[in-house]
C-alpha cells in the first residue's frame, strides 16, 4: 500500500512539473490519461497465415521469422502467388519486416481500405450510440486520408488507437534513410494533422524530407515516420515509465533489420527520436549492433533511460537538442523506482553531441522552417556532419 502511494506521488511530481509549464491542455491530458495496452503480437490474420499449407511449406511466422528469411520468401514468389497473399492476408503482408516496400504499400492499401469500410459501417449503424458512431466516422476519415494517391504506408495495424508507418521518398533506392520515432499521443488519429502539422509524425517527416532535399538535391533520401508502437497518452503514468518503450524497442529493431534486407543506404538509417520516442530509442540502441556508427538524435527528450551516452553502445553516435522554452526541460531528469527516464541528454556529462535548436519554439517546433534544429537534423541524416552547428555557434 505504501509503495503504491509513493508511486502515485512520484507520478504527480513528474506530470505536474510539465503541466505547470503547459498548464491548459497538458494538465487536462494528465488528468484524463489512462495506462495503454502495448501491442506486441502479430496483426490480425496471422493465425490463419501460419496455418496456410497451400504453398506446400510453412509461410514465415510473423511472430518469429527473421527479416532475412522473410525477404527470401518473397523473392521466390510468383506474381500470382503474391497477389493471392495480399488479397487473403493484407495485414500480415503489410506488416512483415523483410518484405519489399512496394509489396507492403500494396497490401496496406487493401488493409486500410478494409478498415475504412468497417468504420463507415459502424458510423452508419443505428444500434450504436452517438459517441461510438462519431468515433467510427473519425476512424473512417483518418483511414481515407491514408489512401490518397502517392502515400506509401509501410505498416498499418488498426488495433487499439491504430499504428501507422509511412515513407517519403524511394526507400529501396535511397542513399540516406532517416527514421522518425515520435513520442506521446502519436496514433492513427493524430498521425497527420493539417492544423498544426509539426505536432504529428507525418508533418515532422515531411518537414525533414523537404529540408534534406533542399540541402542536398542530388542525394536520394527517404524518411520513415514510424508510429509502430503504442505511445503514452498525455502526461499520465505511461509517460513517466519505460513500460511502453520496453515493448516498442524490439519492434523498432525489427523495423531496422527489415530495412537492412530491403534497402541499401550508404550508412545505417539515422534515428530521430522526439520526446518519449527518445526513451524508445535509448531502450533499443544497445541491441542495434551496427557494423557502422548509427546516428541517434534525441530532441525534446525526457531522458533516454540511461545515465550516459556510453551506455547506449559503442556503435551509437548520440546527438541531443532542446530549445530553452521547451517545457520538457522542467521535468525531473532522474529515475526513481522505475519512474523517470534518467539523465538529461543535453548535458555535457551525458556525453552526447549537443546541437543548436535556435529559432525552435516549444515542444513541437524543432522542425519548423528556418530553425537551426531542422537544418541540423537534416545534415545529420545526410551525413553532412561538418554542417552541423552546436549551441555555442549560433546561440552565443
Residues 30 and 77 in one domain: no
145: in domain: no
Give me the domain span that covers residue 133: 63-137
Give the model's pLDDT for residue 1. 41
Tens digits of residue pLDDT in 207-263: 999 999 999 999 999 999 999 999 999 878 899 999 999 999 999 999 999 999 999
Q: What's 34's domain CATH number?
A: 3.40.50.1820
| Structural domain includes residue 303 | yes
289 and 351 share one domain: yes
Question: How many domains does the structure of the chain reveal?
Answer: 2
Residue 394: predicted pLDDT:
54
Residues 207, 68, single domain; the answer is no
pLDDT computed for residue 35 by the predictor: 86
Whether 27 and 70 share a structural domain: no
Note whether 283 and 390 are same-domain residues: yes
Answer yes or no: do 95 and 242 share one domain. Answer: no
Please check whether residues 188 and 132 belong to one and the same domain. Answer: no
Assigned domain for 112 exists: yes
Residue 235 domain-assigned? yes
Q: What is residue 70's predicted lDDT score, i.e. its pLDDT? A: 98
User: What is the pLDDT at residue 393?
Assistant: 64
175 and 209 fall within a common domain: yes
Query: What are 13-39's pLDDT values in tens digits?
Result: 444 444 333 433 443 444 444 789 999
Q: What is the pLDDT of residue 44?
A: 97
230 and 320 belong to one structural domain: yes
| Residue 144 maps to a domain | no
Residue 310 has a pLDDT of: 95
Q: Are residues 193 and 268 in the same domain?
A: yes
Q: What is the pLDDT along the chain (396 residues), one digit of tens a residue?
A: 444 443 443 444 444 444 333 433 443 444 444 789 999 999 999 999 999 999 999 999 999 999 999 999 999 999 999 999 999 999 999 999 999 999 999 999 999 999 999 999 999 999 999 999 999 999 999 999 999 999 999 999 999 999 999 999 999 999 999 999 999 999 999 999 999 999 999 999 999 999 999 999 999 999 999 999 999 998 788 999 999 999 999 999 999 999 999 999 999 999 999 999 999 999 999 988 766 789 999 999 999 999 999 999 988 999 999 999 999 999 888 878 888 899 999 999 999 999 999 999 999 999 999 999 999 999 999 999 999 999 976 544
Give a yes or no: residue 153 inside a domain: no
Domain co-membership, 192 together with 292: yes
- Shared-domain flag, residues 329 and 364: yes
48: in domain: no
The full 3-state SS of the chain, as one line of letters, equals CHHHHHHHHHHHHHHHHHHHHCHHHHHHHHHHCCCCCCCCCCCCCHHHHHHCCCCCCCCCCCCCCCHHHHHHHHHCCCHHHHHHHHHHCHHHHHCCECECHHHHHHHHHHHHHHHHHHHHHHHCCCCCCHHHHHHHHHHHHHHHHHCCCCCEEEEEECCCCCEEEEEEECCCCCCEEEEEECCCCCCHHHCCCCCCHHHCHHHHHHHHHHHHHHHCCCCCEEEEEEECCCCCCCCCHHHHCCHHHHHHHHHHHHHHHHHHHHCCCCCCCEEEEECHHHHHHHHHHHHCCCCCCEEEEEECCCCCCECCHHHHCCCEEEEEECCCCCHHHHCCCCCECCECCECCCCCHHHCCEECCCCCCCCCCCCCCCCCHHHHHHHHHHHCCHHHCCCHHHHCC
In a domain, 51, yes or no: no
Amino acid at each position: 500500500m505504501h509503495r503504491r502511494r509513493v508511486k502515485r506521488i512520484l507520478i504527480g511530481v513528474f506530470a505536474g512539473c510539465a503541466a505547470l509549464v503547459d498548464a491548459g491542455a497538458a494538465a487536462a491530458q494528465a488528468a484524463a490519461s489512462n495506462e495503454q495496452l502495448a501491442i506486441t503480437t502479430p496483426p490480425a490474420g496471422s493465425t490463419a497465415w501460419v496455418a496456410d499449407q497451400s504453398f506446400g511449406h510453412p509461410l514465415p511466422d510473423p511472430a518469429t521469422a527473421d527479416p532475412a528469411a522473410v525477404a527470401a520468401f518473397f523473392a521466390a514468389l510468383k506474381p500470382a502467388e503474391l497477389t493471392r497473399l495480399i488479397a487473403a492476408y493484407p495485414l500480415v503482408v503489410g506488416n512483415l519486416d523483410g518484405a519489399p516496400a512496394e509489396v507492403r504499400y500494396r497490401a496496406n492499401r487493401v488493409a486500410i481500405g478494409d478498415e475504412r469500410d468497417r468504420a463507415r459501417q459502424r458510423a452508419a449503424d443505428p444500434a450504436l450510440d452517438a459517441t461510438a458512431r462519431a468515433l467510427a466516422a473519425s476512424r473512417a476519415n483518418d483511414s481515407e486520408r491514408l489512401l490518397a494517391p502517392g502515400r506509401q504506408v509501410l505498416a498499418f495495424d488498426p488495433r487499439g488507437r491504430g499504428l501507422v508507418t509511412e515513407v517519403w521518398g524511394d526507400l529501396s533506392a535511397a542513399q540516406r534513410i532517416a527514421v522518425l520515432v515520435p513520442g506521446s499521443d502519436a496514433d492513427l488519429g493524430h498521425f497527420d494533422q493539417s492544423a498544426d502539422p509539426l505536432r504529428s509524425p507525418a508533418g515532422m517527416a515531411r518537414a525533414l524530407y523537404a529540408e534534406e532535399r533542399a540541402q542536398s538535391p542530388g542525394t536520394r533520401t527517404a524518411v520513415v515516420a514510424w508510429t509502430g508502437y503504442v505511445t503514452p497518452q498525455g502526461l499520465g503514468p505511461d509517460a513517466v515509465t519505460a513500460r511502453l518503450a520496453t515493448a516498442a524497442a524490439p519492434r523498432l529493431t525489427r523495423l531496422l533489420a527489415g530495412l537492412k534486407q530491403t534497402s541499401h543506404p550508404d550508412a545505417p538509417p539515422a534515428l530521430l527520436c522526439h520526446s518519449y520516442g527518445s526513451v524508445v530509442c535509448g531502450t533499443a540502441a544497445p541491441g542495434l549492433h551496427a557494423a557502422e556508427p548509427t546516428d541517434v538524435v534525441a530532441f525534446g527528450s525526457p531522458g533516454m533511460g540511461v545515465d550516459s551516452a556510453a551506455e547506449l553502445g559503442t556503435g551509437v553516435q548520440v546527438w541531443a537538442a532542446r530549445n530553452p522554452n521547451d517545457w520538457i526541460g522542467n521535468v525531473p531528469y532522474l529515475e526513481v523506482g522505475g519512474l523517470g527516464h534518467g539523465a538529461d541528454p543535453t548535458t555535457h556529462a551525458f556525453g552526447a553531441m549537443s546541437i543548436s535548436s535556435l529559432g525552435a519554439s516549444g515542444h513541437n517546433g524543432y522542425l519548423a522552417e528556418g530553425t537551426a534544429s531542422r537544418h541540423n537534423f537534416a545534415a545529420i541524416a545526410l551525413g553532412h556532419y561538418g554542417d552541423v552547428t552546436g549551441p555555442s555557434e549560433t546561440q552565443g
